[in-house]
Structure 1
Amino acid sequence: MSETPLSETPLSETPLSIRAEALDARDTEDGLGKLRDRFSLPPGLVYLDGNSLGALPAAVPGRVADVVAREWGELLIRSWDESGWWTAPERIGDRIAPLVGAAPGRIVVGDSTSVNLFKALVGAARLAAATTDGGRDELLVDATTFPTDGYIAASAARMTGLKVVPVEPAAVPAALGPRTAAVLLNHVDYRTGRLHDLPGLTAAIRAAGALSVWDLCHSAGALPVDLEEHGVDLAVGCTYKYLNGGPGSPAYLYVAGRHQAGFDSPLPGWNSHADPFAMTPGYVPADGARRGRVGTPDILSMLALEAALDVWEGVSVADVRRKSLALTDFFLECVEAYVPGGKVETVTPAAHAERGSQVSLRTENASAVMRELIARGVVGDFRAPDVLRFGFTPLYVGFADAERAARTLGHIYG
């Protein structure tokens, strides 16, 4: 695919709608535009809420029907072996691994993001206690984090005797010290779309002798993460946003290879036992990613996710990132052209190095504005008290979608 950013077009003097059409035509010919056919989307709808719930991959309904009717209905319990149900958490983890720059055997799929975050934070605290002199009693937590992450961090801290220290991501290097056990950070801020410096912050955390725990919910599937390259210790993420796994699809837990033997999960279920069917009273943890399992996997959601991941066949995350930046650049240009001055304020950073795959705009009456956008066929979402969020999923969002969304927003204010 072309290395030239899609926003660099010689058609800059033409109307924005014509430019959008030309960009989409080019992207369909030699970019990601052709992948839209891999999804089922209502005709005429501009869907810019993939950062909350990804669109339905076209192959998923048939796969789920087969799982229900044949694997469950006919094979019944035999499907744990014959249909590969038992190995699904690790198998699907290996499907996600290349999308986040992880090696095989590092990711297990199952449970929710919150449950996996609890495992990761308690596991990080126990790793820190086992590998240091015991003087590390602080858990630094992203002060702008998604609320549930904060709740989970507070509970994990109570369990492990740590003290939660809220800190802005940019201030983490200065806040690190000999008392820091672990640091929880979001790769992309869910409100503003700001992309935080995972490589630099991870390096600083490692240099301070602490462990990094990253929440990838708003970055995995939208931009490169490169967990192994940057030495991340632990990470979690959901699969229903940019990975399009469906509502409530299972989340995942990443544990770096160097930590797997010492990872002590606070939820040691029978599924993570070294010999789960022996049913012994004593717990012996399994090797590798299986150590992150707990109870019986949610097979229907798990296999729907596996089918959803087929849309990534032949897709480069680098190409996804290029299109994401081109789309968000173009949307911001259209907003500036269509929306009367002073009506909205862009809170997403302009710099590509600091931008995820969403654009957030601050405005008065944001809830009412979003309801009107949705009524006019443009679906984004609202975050209290005054933020409009627009998520750009490059596998199915095009430049005409971006232009129409901005033009519709301008009409509302017009």
Structure 2
Amino acid sequence: MGARSGTLKDAAAIVGIGQTRFAKHLPETEKALACRAVLAALADAGLHPSQVDAFASYTMEETDEVELAKAVGAGDATFFSRVGYGGGGSCATVAHLAAAIATGQASVGVAWRSRKRGSGPRPWTDTRTQLAVPAQWTRPYGLLRPVDEIGMLARRYMHQYGATRDHFFQVALACRNRANQNPAALMYDRPLTREMYMTARWISEPLCLYDNCLETDGALACVVVSAERARDCRQRPVYVHSAAQGLPAQHHGMVNYWTEDPLTGPAWTAARNLWKGADLGPEDVDVAQIYDAFTALIPLSLEGYGFCGRGEGAAFTEGGALEIGGLLPINTSGGGLSEAYVHGFNLITEGVRQLRGTSTAQVHGAATCLVTAGEGVPTSALLLRN
């Protein structure tokens, strides 16, 4: 496989993945966790740290490439980038590395995310430090947290298209069922029932406790090389078939006030470019890892990436469609709702496991996987294939 003119199609591959354990409180620093995940990913690929010459992570990552490179013993770096907007940047880290490798700027790239949110402070209720544009117009009046903003989107979606809490429950249940098969997941031994969901406390109505992602300590990483080099690595290559970012015109935060249709979010913009750069379409996707900081984001993403029509995302979740054997199995490690929330990076590593055939909830014969980043914020997506 090689790059086609003007595209990234299959020019680069993920050849190594690594992660620390996930927990509510881990003793290591974020830097130590980042190093553990990166070294594990390099070992998985059969590569030495001195061969790394490219880095990509998030603007919110507190361990920068200088410190990471020194700590793991990397070589001279010729490419490094950071992507903004929290969980919206997850897939873009891999996309940036793939582009750098495809254009000859680097040869071995590492993307990573390390967080200690399970141990850390809760910044959202301090309006003194949360008054940047556009939040200065909303947080003093009650939209303090992301869940409050997504709660407004969820209520609009329910009002406009008839979505119900049962639809959101189907999302939470699919993720929890997969986590119950994954020993690394925080919710591995904790089944979810409809009664538990319906009687759970509100976090920001209409979103309850189980509509929200976990607060997690942990780190993950992956290694990206050229398609040619991937053939000599230890693991079966997972090719970056297509990648895209999306920032819609006149976008205005998670609630997207300025647009005529706030329910048409960044996923729609990313999806257009993702499918334009691919030989495949939504109908060819065997399994998907869809960003799930909140259950209500899944129906919106299903619509944005073309799995169903406008307003049909809630109904798509019915009848076990998101379960193994359903129309579109999702978040097969448990996702942010039930495995761990590390700004969506675990969705990338699980996508790789699915295409290697090593997932704890393996989709039989999976050859293609869509991975998405945060909806509601400037976002990104990957289409992976084996």
TM-score by length of 2: 0.25
- Bigger Rg over Cα: 1
Higher helix fraction: Structure 1 or Structure 2? Answer: 1
TM-score by length of 1: 0.24
